């Protein structure tokens, strides 16, 4: 179990590095769901109307100055919504009968997201590419640290409302859940908690801290620790667990009991 997990984390780290290199080299093609903001440089094209083509920067107030329409509010809406807003303005003003408006994000400025917790380089990072995704941002932060958990928490705002989502990073790569690799927006915070850990001491082959897998039992934990020594006995098993009141309880578990984060498993020496 531990070997498989280690190999996966090595593989995932390599994937994140490749993602980071690809993000730095070129702008992703799919920017349709990117939310425009102050400082963004956009190129607007209207099919068969070259005089309405324009490259401009979004102002601090979130507006652009567009031919025939004047001030157009594009900050805080997606690229698709901005295209529709300009097209509607051209149509309602009888400037173009059936306008086909296309917007490309040329450069992103002013947007930032934070990565905190168990990553190699926690801090704030600029979202300089439209369509910067969760894995891109974690790669910018140097990847998940060895003590980091697989599940990360993303908080921010979406459509003006508070947003919170837990994302299992391995599922993005191993189960193809690419929808969880969400597009980052200005002000987002990604928090990587420490991995859940238990501790095994006493008469086991490899005492020390081990990663607590989902629904891990006492038997599985002992196997991860290399099993009992010749002097160890299952009858001498004890689990030290801190309760909600902060007091440590001593439990005599069965081999099928599930362990919790922070549990200490102690294997006593056989007296016979």
**What's the pLDDT tens digit per position in 138-154?**
999 999 998 899 899 99
Domain 197-269 has CATH 3.10.560.10: yes
Domains 2-26+109-194 and 197-269 share a fold: yes
DSSP symbol at 120: S
Residue 139: its pLDDT value, please?
94
**What's the pLDDT tens digit per position in 104-162?**
998 877 678 999 999 999 999 988 777 889 999 999 999 999 889 989 999 999 888 99
Task: Please give the full DSSP string across 183-205, using - where no structure is assigned.
Answer: BP-TT-EEEEEEPPEEEEEESBS
| b/e 155-171 (16+ beta carbons within 10 angstroms → b) | ebeeeeeeeeeebebee
Residue 9: its pLDDT value, please?
53
**CB-CB contact of 127 with 112 (8 Å):** yes
Domain boundaries, given as residue ranges, for the chain: 2-26+109-194, 41-105, 197-269
Q: Which CATH class is domain 41-105?
A: alpha beta
Tokens of 8: 């996966």
Residue 37: its pLDDT value, please?
85
Residue 18: its pLDDT value, please?
45
**CB-CB contact of 225 with 207 (8 Å):** yes
Tell me which of 3.30.70.100, 3.30.2130.30, 3.10.560.10, 1.10.1740.10 is the CATH number of domain 2-26+109-194. Answer: 3.10.560.10
Low-confidence residues of the chain, pLDDT below 50? 1-8, 10-11, 14-15, 17-30
Q: What is the pTM of this model?
A: 0.58
């Amino acid at each position: 179990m531990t070997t498989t997990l280690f190999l996966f984390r090595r593989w995932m780290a390599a994937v994140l590095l490749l993602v980071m290199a690809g993000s730095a080299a070129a702008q992703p093609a799919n920017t349709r769901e990117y939310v425009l903001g102050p400082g963004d440089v956009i190129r607007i094209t209207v099919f068969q109307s070259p005089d309405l083509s324009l490259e401009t920067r979004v102002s601090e107030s979130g507006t652009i100055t567009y031919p025939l329409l004047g001030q157009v509010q594009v900050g805080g809406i997606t690229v698709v919504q901005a295209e529709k807003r300009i097209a509607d303005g051209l149509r309602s003003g009888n400037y173009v009968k059936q306008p086909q408006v296309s917007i490309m994000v040329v450069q992103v400025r002013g947007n930032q997201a934070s990565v905190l917790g168990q990553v190699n380089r926690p801090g704030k990072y600029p979202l300089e590419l439209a369509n910067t995704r969760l894995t891109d941002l974690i790669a910018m932060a140097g990847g998940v640290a060895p003590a980091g958990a697989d599940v990360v928490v993303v908080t921010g705002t979406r459509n003006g409302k508070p947003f919170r989502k837990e994302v299992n990073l391995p599922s993005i790569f191993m189960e193809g859940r690419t929808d969880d690799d969400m597009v980052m927006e200005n002000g987002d915070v990604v928090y990587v908690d420490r991995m859940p850990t238990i501790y095994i001491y006493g008469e086991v082959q490899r005492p020390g801290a081990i990663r607590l897998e989902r629904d891990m039992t006492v038997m599985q934990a002992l196997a991860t620790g290399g099993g009992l020594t010749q002097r160890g006995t299952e009858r001498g098993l004890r689990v030290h667990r801190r309760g909600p009141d902060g007091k440590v309880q001593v439990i005599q578990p069965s081999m099928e009991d599930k362990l919790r984060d922070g549990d200490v498993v102690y294997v006593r020496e056989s007296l016979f």
